[in-house]
Amino acid sequence: MQKATRALLIGFGVFLFPYYAQAISFTFDCIEGSPVDSAIAGQLWIDIEEISDTEVSIRFRNEGPVDSAITRIYFYDVTPDDTPISSPGINNPTAGVVDFSSDFNGPGHLPGGNGLGTVFFAAGVQNPHNGIGPGEWMTINFVGDYASLLNALEPGGDLSIGIHVQSIGINGESGSFVASVPEPTTLLLLGSGLACLGIFGRRKARRRNR
């Protein structure tokens, strides 16, 4: 019942704002026990956008300023037979600079990520220099429904997204982080706010063109 209510809330927001409410951004939380300053989590972002009714885009970005590189990305599901997204396609913005692949040398699980579920997709780089550094980003496209994905990512949901970050600061530390997704009511308010900003911006543009 609770999950159905959450899905209804998200779906209601999508219905009200069929275009402008289809993108949202989150930061990450440092996994407890990770030996790095949790403040760096504030410069690591994930953007989820609906491309179409059957495709979503998940962008990972590092806003800096602390030197660091996102080097591995893990998608976990408690019920992997019922995952809301599938058929991942990696889009590296600049080949040879940010260079992620599903075929990488590294652990099959996020360090410290015990209890998150089963990894159903992972991507990484062979060298930290090809990770997502300050000012850089990388996108993974999936087949799936936007509202169902957000519903699965909510606190207590089945889906989790974790990242491993290396070369942090002058000491070159590493740490693990998990996407910090707000409660469904906050998701709805954020989506509504994005919609209002989009509508307001479009009206201003129309006035200028008159």
Each residue's pLDDT, cut to its tens digit, for the chain (210 residues) gives 444 434 444 444 444 444 444 899 999 998 866 667 777 888 999 999 999 999 999 999 999 999 999 999 999 999 878 899 999 999 988 767 999 999 888 788 998 888 899 999 999 999 999 999 999 999 999 999 999 999 999 988 999 999 999 999 888 889 999 998 876 544 444 444 444 444 444 444 444 445
DSSP E strand stretches across 53-203: 55-62, 69-77, 85-91, 118-124, 136-144, 159-168, 173-180
Domain boundaries, the chain: 22-183
Q: What angle do CA 178, 58, 46 make, to 5 degrees?
A: 40
pTM of the model: 0.77
| Tens-place pLDDT, residues 117-162 | 999 999 999 999 999 999 999 999 999 999 999 999 998 899 999 9
Nearest to 35 by CA among 173, 180, 178: 173
Nearest to 176 by CA among 24, 44, 78, 26: 44
What 8-state DSSP symbol labels residue 181? P
Architecture of domain 22-183: Sandwich (2.60)
Q: Which residues have CB under 8 Å from 195's CB, separation 6+?
A: 16, 17, 20, 21
pLDDT value of residue 183: 63
What are the φ/ψ torsions at residue 196 (nearest 5 degrees)? Answer: -60, -40
Query: 102-116 burial, b for 16+ CB within 10 Å, e for fewer?
Result: eebeeeebbbbbeeb
Q: Which residue has the tokens 């707000």?
A: 182
